[in-house]
Amino acid sequence: MLAGLTMAASSLQELESIEKLSTDSPQLHRKAISEINYSEETGVPLNTPWTFYLDKSVPGTSAAEYEALLKKLYTVSTVQGFWSVYNNIPTIETLSSRYSYHLMRYERKPMWEDEDNCRGGNWKLKCHKDDTPKVWKELLLAAIGEQLSDCMAQGDEVGGVSCSVRDRDDIVQLWNTRADLADKSTIIQKVQELLPDVVFAAIFYKAFQTHQAFERGKVKTIRE
């Protein structure tokens, strides 16, 4: 009996030490957790929480000015929570030009300088307005369903999806966290598989740190 207890204790310790070693998933702020707990206890959990943001693009703004204009709508952590936001905000095709929706993993801000984004970049896809509602919805579902994660190299992940309404064609963006691994991703093939009828007028990738406006000094100070 005594021996049994000792064994149990030692394997528990072992288990705890293993847990400590493999706890490398991002931590949520307490505020985020309490918001999540509120209304989403009964839904089907997502792999990670995702946050809806809205912004209006104003040319020439600094990172700080942009951050002040950025509006966080809600952090969802369940499938039902996702739909309760999606079903109750204006659809993408009704937004005025220069507005964007973003869905970002955890509570990352849709900013190049966010500490989880700053080593990454994004694919930009120029999208005909007739296709935008479908493209946006499919990419949201692929993101929260983690259908895109198998397309990413080990160590890389999809950090967000965005859709920006512009005067002529709209712009869809897929954010990743490791620009150095973007070449190894097959995400564009996956998008074309998900949307076989859609032809994107242009597709390219850019690392955030290669933007002239990237504010190196701003990295790390964004999170409260």
Partner 1 sequence: MSATGSPQQRVAGREIPVRRIADLSHLPSDYSTTPGGSIFSTTPGGSRIYYDRSFLLQCRNSPLTKSPPPNMAKIPGVTVPEGSETKEKSVVEEKKPNPPADPDDQFQMEI
The site for partner 1 (CB under 8 A) is made up of 11, 14-15, 17-19, 21-23, 25, 35, 38-40, 42-49, 54, 56-57, 59, 71-74, 76-77, 79-90, 94-97, 99, 124, 126, 129, 138, 141-142, 144-147, 149, 164, 166-168, 171, 173, 201-202
Shortest distance, position 5 Cβ to partner 1, whole Å: 15
Q: Which is nearer to partner 1, 57 or 209 (CB)?
A: 57
Instruction: State the nearest-atom distance from the C-beta of 87 to partner 1, in Å.
Output: 5
Separation of alpha carbons 13 and 16, rounded Å: 5
Residue 121 Cβ vs partner 1, minimum distance, rounded to whole Å: 13
| Strand order, beta sheet including 158-164 | 71-78, 45-56, 99-105, 158-164, 170-176, 121-127, 202-207
* Residue recorded with tokens 């080990």: 154
If the CB atoms of residues 64 and 90 are measured against partner 1, the closer one turns out to be 90
Q: 99: how many CB neighbours lie within 10 A of its CB? A: 17
CA distance 25 to 18: 14
Cβ–Cβ under 8 Å, residues 59 and 166: no
Q: Which is nearer to partner 1, 91 or 189 (CB)?
A: 91
Residues near 179 by beta carbon (within 8 Å), at least 6 away in sequence: 119, 120, 121, 207, 208, 209
14's tokens: 């072992």
Q: Distance between CA atoms of 132 and 92, rounded to whole angstroms?
A: 8
Q: How far is the CB of 93 from partner 1 (least distance, A)?
A: 9
- The C-alpha atoms of residue 33 and residue 75 are separated, in whole angstroms, by 9
Of 77 and 117, nearer to partner 1 (C-beta) is 77
- Which of 46, 198 has the CB closer to partner 1? 46
Nearer to partner 1, 18 or 64 (CB): 18
Q: Minimal distance in Å, beta carbon 18 to partner 1? A: 5
Name the minimum Å distance from CB 94 to partner 1: 5
